[in-house]
Structure 1
Amino acid sequence: MKLIQIICALLVLTAVASATVSHHDCSLDTMVLGSWKQDGMTIIQYAITIENHTNKMIKSIHISTDHTLTLVDKSSIWNIEKQSNGDLTLPVGQPTIAPHSSLTFYCILKGTTRPNLYVKSISF
């Protein structure tokens, strides 16, 4: 019985370790490219860079956001894929990020609130 408990504990720890993304593995850097007024509302264009800090190739990444990703319209985000659940994933044209490399995507948002983005999952 003890052996089964130990094996179960090891399996749980393995699952947690593989789901955890260290901030040392990958970072998201947000930069304002410009802003303007449109119909009385502030519009801001951002460049968001996904940095791979590892010696391994990123094969997939899921970036989550919340209500702060207020796109002007559906075409106001590019060089990234927006999934039906709201997650952002690597674009078809660049399905990986090489070791110590990066990918930049862009979006145009309504309002002055920076988008809240965080890495939900990553696989190498």
Structure 2
Amino acid sequence: MKSIVLILLGLLLTIAFVAAQEEDRGRPPYQCPKNCGGGHTCHIKNNDCHCRKFGDINDIKLEYCRLNSWVDGACGKTYTQWDIKIVNCGDCDLHEIYIGYDYTLRLRDSSSIWNIARLPYGVLTLPSYQTSINAGASYTFGFIIEGTQKPNLDILYVRF
């Protein structure tokens, strides 16, 4: 009887540990005061927070540029190189941005992305050496992905 109780206790502790890990996995790497839901960008300017639908932001945008596609003779897979320009169209410096991606960003390998930091949970952000994007300026990062489809990138959070 005592061994059954110990086994059940161990099982409960394991379940609690796994549940805590799963809960942490769903947390974004940024905090939005308004808790904007899916399909929305948390937009903070002058400490004023608004939730805006993806694509409804006028002061920041992503511009895609497909540079090249080719078939790798060794494996027969098609790869495409993309440059993504983060354009600050606003009148304030951008201090923080988080960009979400999904399965369409299938990198050729771990070294096939540059000038951007990859975070867990499908999130990209500016690298530590790029602390801001000035008003009216832009910043470009790039990657090589499998296939030719334009990857889905959404601005999740911006802070000016």
Common fold: TM-score over 0.5: yes
- Does structure 2 retain, via aligned residues, the 8 Å contact 1:41–1:110? yes
Distance 1:73 1:35 in 2: 16
Distance 1:101 1:20 in 2: 24
CA shift, 1:112, in A, is 1.4
Question: Percent identical across equivalent pairs?
Answer: 37
Q: Indicate which of 47, 51, 69 corresponds to 1:20.
A: 51
Alignment partner, residue 122 of structure 2: 86
Alignment partner, residue 67 of structure 2: 33
CA shift, 1:23, in A, is 2.2
Query: Aligned partner of 2:104: which letter?
Result: T
- Does structure 1 retain, via aligned residues, the 8 Å contact 2:69–2:148? no
Count of residues in Structure 1 that have an aligned counterpart in Structure 2: 111
Residues 49-96 of structure 1, C-alpha deviations (whole Å, 9 max, x = no match):
000011111110000011000000111100000002220000112121
CA shift, 1:20, in A, is 2.6
Alignment partner, residue 75 of structure 1: 111
Alignment partner, residue 3 of structure 2: none
Distance 1:26 1:83 in 2: 21
Distance 1:87 1:123 in 2: 16
CA shift, 1:113, in A, is 1.2
The structure with the larger Rg is 2
Distance 1:26 1:64 in 2: 15
Superposition RMSD in Å:
1.6
Query: Aligned partner of 1:33: which letter?
Result: L
- Does structure 2 retain, via aligned residues, the 8 Å contact 1:20–1:121? no
Alignment of 1:54-65 (within 5 A): 54-65=90-101
User: What 5-or-longer segments of structure 1 have no aligned partner?
Assistant: 1-13
Alignment partner, residue 158 of structure 2: 122
Distance 1:111 1:102 in 2: 27
* Structure 2 residue matching 1:72: 3-state secondary structure: coil
